[in-house]
Amino acid sequence: MPQGSSGSVGAKGELGGSGTDTVLTFAYGANLNFMTLARRDVKVLSRDPATVVDPAVHLVFKHQGGYATLERGAEPTPAAAAAVAGSSNGAGAAGQGAAAAGAGAAAGNGAGAGAAAGSASAAGGASSAQNGSGHQHHHDEPRFRSYDGRVHGVLYRLTREDFEKLSKREGGYTVQQMEVRTYDGLVHVALVFVSNPLFKLPQEVLPTEAYLSKIRDGAADNYLDPSYQAFLSGITTVPSAGLGSEYFNTPSKYMGYSFLVVVALITLAFFFQH
């Protein structure tokens, strides 16, 4: 079973334990959804909206079947870094919106999220130019502040038993430790489900509408940042039926085929010998 510890980083940077009977885990996919947790008989002790601290970690749809995983990509561009800084101080200038478009494209890192970057750009483009005093014109006020390019999700505190229930249902995922920051500024080390390389697609695909709907509903139910919800809303989806081979071309698939071939050869050799 997955091993790891969880805790929080205090003012001095020390790792504080979360207790031996509870686990901190960061959800970014279908586990955001209340119905998903209910079907898995998982009860949440506490929940806090949060973001992944590392800006180079992106949400991508590269798990077998088109499911989500996290992937560390290139370091953020200066434009992306400017978007993060602008989001932190609440700036809503049009220049920040343009920077966030670059961050949105980096966060997508593929076909599925490439469409989402367009949505992030549109949301940022709605930001008004500010006058010299820093006040926005009322008719150009943006609906959302610009997407900051980071992965948003929810930090759950679960019993160790319930975390094991989730682990058993997360086929093809492994557990990693990752720093996340709650919306109120506290940094924690959480356990995160990330694709096992054997179940990871070589290229990103478009998620199915049914799957992404679970993520969107979970993001709304947990009051994730509206700019991130706008990012999710802009991701292009495909129907769940009739997925192409590109959704299943992972190393595990070919290892399965190889295993069947070996078994068949052993079986034939056994019959020929008798």
- What is d(CA 58, CA 70) in angstroms, rounded to the nearest whole number? 6
- What is d(CA 185, CA 264) in angstroms, rounded to the nearest whole number? 57
Amino acid at 169: R
- What is d(CA 234, CA 114) in angstroms, rounded to the nearest whole number? 9
- What is d(CA 173, CA 62) in angstroms, rounded to the nearest whole number? 12
Residue 199: Cβ-neighbour burial (10 angstroms; 0-12, 13-18, 19+): buried
Of the CA atoms within 13 Å of residue 125, those in its CB half-sphere come to 9
The DSSP call for residue 250 is: S
**CA distance to 141, 150, 255, per residue, from 86 (Å):** 16, 13, 47
Q: What is the CA radius of gyration of the chain?
A: 21
- Catalytic site residue from 170, 204, 209, 246: 170
Q: 161 catalytic, yes or no? A: no
Count the Cβ atoms, other than its own, within 10 Å of residue 221: 14
* Residue bearing tokens 């101080």: 89
* Residue bearing tokens 């006040």: 135
Residues carrying an active site annotation: 170
